[in-house]
Chains A and B, each alone.
Chain A
Amino acid sequence: MQTNPASYLGRNRPEPRYSNDRLFWGAVLGVLAGGLGYAALRTSQGRNSVTDRPPDSAPGRTARRSRFGRYAVVGRTVTIAKPRSEVYAFWRDRSNLASFMQNVRSVEETGGLNHWTIEGPAGTEVYLETRMVEDRPDEMISWQSTDASDIETQGKVLFRDAPGDRGTEMEAIIAYVPPMGTLGRWVAKTFQAEPRMQGRRELKRLKMLMETGEIATSALRNSPS
């Protein structure tokens, strides 16, 4: 239990032993839920209901719905205190990607295609082959998987000057078709079950590497002791 990150929110102590209290709190929660339901009903009958909502300025992937046709979409924006050309060049060099993407073992480029070797479920490897769709220096790179890939996916990264000389705002968006079976469960685990988490972790590592030259670790030693 103590090595599970989920236990961060718990305590390293036994569960409380209040069986009767559980009934009591259940009743309390029931009353509270009833109250909330009543309040929600009152609110929904209020005067200010809106039926037609024009699009707002937020990125589509932050919409309250999470599917866009067959695709699930994850994405995240990060500000990196480096010039746009430098961030673009680092990303454009595919051999850099494995240095901050946790599950990516290697990315090789041959014949205009990128070959990704990704750590899959239970020691397996997931193969991904992508071709560049668009490459606008210092602005945008987009890619799409080929039929040879285990996963159908497309994505892009956008580079913008951050306001106030804060460096570069880099936005990464990845859309993928959730596969079935074992692979599907693995994809769900790495992307969906921890929504936004995997992507945001990769971008944080990229930011660390570009801003500080290293990726922070609290380990005591290089090798597990």
Chain B
Amino acid sequence: MRALTWHGKHDVRVDTVPDPEIINPRDAILEVTSTAICGSDLHLYDGVIPGMMSGDILGHEFMGRVVETGSKSTLKKGQRVVVPFTISCGACFFCQKQLYSACDNSNPVPNQDVTENLYGHAISALFGYSHLTGGYPGGQAEYVRVPFSDVGPIVIPDGMEDDEVLFLSDILPTGWMAAENADIEEGDTVAVWGCGPVGLFAIQSALAMGAARVIAIDEYPNRLELARTLGADVIDFKQTRVLDALMDMSGGLGPDAVIDAVGMEAHGFGVDTMLDNVKQNIGMGADSAHALREAIMAVRKAGRISIPGVYGGFLDKFPLGALMEKGVQVKTGQTHVQRYLDDLLRRIGDGELDTTFLISHRLPLEEAPKGYKNFRYNQDDWTKVVLKPGTAAN
């Protein structure tokens, strides 16, 4: 089959690789019909996530048609399904508490050692990401093997288009959980750093959960415009002092809740960003966290911080004093996707949530490298790229 494979920093290619097979009883094989490039794929593209190997198949936002099932899969051939990017067994302590992204059993045992040593606990598996999270071949391919297919995938009713439901795989529930983690109350002012896909969905979710005012922070006019159309006020950090603006725009109180939808490759003007980047580039496992530092400074006393942005390593100059003295609550983590699927599918069907507004480009799989390059370097115009493996290249 054809698949988008990783070969190093800024080097992704469409290669011919072996087709996947059923290995375990609960597996299924999908023929992928739509798959998206995620902002977190750019962390891989930029080479800042450890544990990648040359030839890894990327892609954790995908959907497709079931073509093969293991003996214990509950799926049927021909069904259309969206697959959560988090791989979860459904049976362990965490899955039973619906903490699916903390699953104990999805990450293959030898892959668990690194994070058990690095984080104190082994983390669960994700599709198409680092070998720290299992090294599972991803969905930017013609076919994909889906483990625990009786737990993860959600069957899509006929009549709903791929593009309407594809983002159930990651960014829609991730934006939703980001807002949920901000514990939004009626009348809240919520500030969101980053108007990428997760930030945009977090804005939409925060408003749906009763926020009176959402303030979106980014530097790209098109992305800020998308945020504005959703109903947010916007701050362009290239022309505005963010902390001053947020204080004034929230009546001198500070935002009740803040959401960092940027993560480990934040870019800003500060000295902290320069030092972070130096350490990141010489491989010290440091995160660049300008957005998070700013969010901690901005949030009101006893406010709430939600961090859907991805971090992988260590951080210094962390404003721990501000966190403690202001009595701030922090919630974070990979998304418990399976927990939200039924509810969000219904909301899409009822027209409560718009899921297609952010798609800027649809490309055949063969043109995936072009999609990566532009999603990385033309962020203003390329807000979301969907790949269609079934369509021919130009």
Contacts and interface: CB of A to CB of B under 8 A. Distances in A.
Nearest to A18: B282
B105 to A, nearest CB: 5
A10 B50 contact: yes
A207 B283 contact: no
Interface band, chain B:
35 or more
A211 interface: yes
Given A8-B51, A81-B96, A211-B91, A221 B105 contact: no
Given A166-B93, A197-B113, A12 B20 contact: no
Interface in B30-49: 47
Given A207-B104, A212-B105, A219-B23, A9 B92 contact: no
A208 interface: yes
B26 A212 contact: yes
A221 B18 contact: yes
B394 interface: no
Decide if the interface of chain B is mainly helix, strand, loop or mixed: loop
Contacts of A215: 24, 108-109
B53 A11 contact: no
Contacts of B135: 218
A9 B114 contact: yes
Nearest to B116: A200
B75 interface: no
Contacts of A208: 89, 105, 109
B190 to A, nearest CB: 35
B163 interface: no
Interface of B: 8-9, 17-21, 23-26, 47, 50-54, 57, 72, 89-93, 96, 104-114, 116, 118, 122, 125, 131-132, 134-137, 145, 147-148, 282-283, 285
9 contacts: A8-B50, A9-B51, A13-B8, A81-B93, A200-B116, A201-B110, A204-B112, A212-B91, A218-B125
A59 B113 CA distance: 22
Contacts of B116: 200
Contacts of B148: 212
Contacts of A8: 50-51, 114, 131-132
B108 A218 contact: yes
Contact of A5 (B91, B105, B110, B134): B110
B89 A222 contact: no
A215 B26 CA distance: 11
Contacts of B134: 216, 218
A11 B26 CA distance: 34
Contacts of B92: 81, 207, 211-212
Contacts of B21: 220-222
Decide if the interface of chain A is mainly helix, strand, loop or mixed: loop
Interface residues of A, number: 35
Nearest to A217: B108
A167 B132 CA distance: 28
A216 B105 contact: yes
A213 interface: yes
Contacts of A81: 91-93, 96
**Best-buried of A5, A216, A219 by chain B (most CB within 10 Å):** A216
B72 to A, nearest CB: 7
Given A9-B118, A9-B285, A211-B92, 13 more contacts: A5-B113, A12-B8, A12-B9, A12-B53, A13-B283, A79-B93, A207-B92, A211-B104, A215-B24, A215-B108, A215-B109, A216-B105, A218-B108
Nearest to A204: B109
B54 A213 contact: no
B24 A214 contact: yes
A221 B111 CA distance: 18
A11 B43 CA distance: 13
A221 B96 contact: no
B89 A212 contact: yes
Nearest to A196: B116
B114 A207 contact: no
A208 B89 CA distance: 9
A48 interface: no
Contacts of B113: 5, 194, 197, 201
Nearest to B96: A81
A167 B93 CA distance: 9
Interface string A130-168: 000000000000000000000000000000000000110
**Best-buried of A5, A13, A167, A214 by chain B (most CB within 10 Å):** A214
Nearest to A82: B91
A2 interface: yes
A45 interface: no
A124 interface: no
A111 interface: no
A213 B25 contact: yes
B111 A218 contact: yes
B72 A216 contact: no
Contact of A214 (B25, B109, B122): B25
A19 interface: no
A216 B108 contact: yes
Contacts of A212: 26, 89-92, 105, 148
A16 B278 CA distance: 12
